Amino acid sequence: MLRGHRLYVETLVMHDAIELRIPLRPPQVVAHTALRVVPAQAPSRPIGLLLAPGAGSDHTESVLAGLARGLSARGVAVGTFDFAYRHAGRRPPDRRDRLVRAFEDVL
């Protein structure tokens, strides 16, 4: 369980990252997003950070991916995800309330 949401069992290991399928509450344009977690390398204490891409980009954006890898190497587990509008193939972002709701769902 994740904050009252059922966490799907579909977990994939992709290039040193774990991918989890996370349900999104309506009114989103898609029902799920993928949370990609880059585990901390040799963590000294449990620290994690959730990052979302800027307007019009996605989790593959080089700065975001590089930041996740760099923090992971320094002992911080990093999660990244794409907003629903990106899964739907759109570039202009959704309204702020939808973005905040998606962020809360992923948390």
- HEC profile for 3-53? CCECCCCCEEEECCEEEEEEECCCCCCCCEEEEEEECCCCCCCCCEEEECC
The mean pLDDT of 40-49, rounded to a whole number, is 84
| Residue showing tokens 């800027």 | 54
Find the length of the chain.
107
- Tell me what pLDDT residue 2 has: 42
Residue 62 or 44, more confident: 62
Residue 15's pLDDT band (boundaries 50, 70, 90)? low
Q: Residue 12 pLDDT more than 50?
A: no
Residues 6 or more apart whose Cβ sits within 8 Å of residue 79: 35, 36, 37, 38, 48, 49, 50, 51, 106
How many of the other CB atoms lie within 10 Å of CB of 39?
14
pTM > 0.75: yes or no: yes
Mean pLDDT, all residues of the chain: 83
Q: How far apart are CA 107 and CA 79, in angstroms?
A: 10
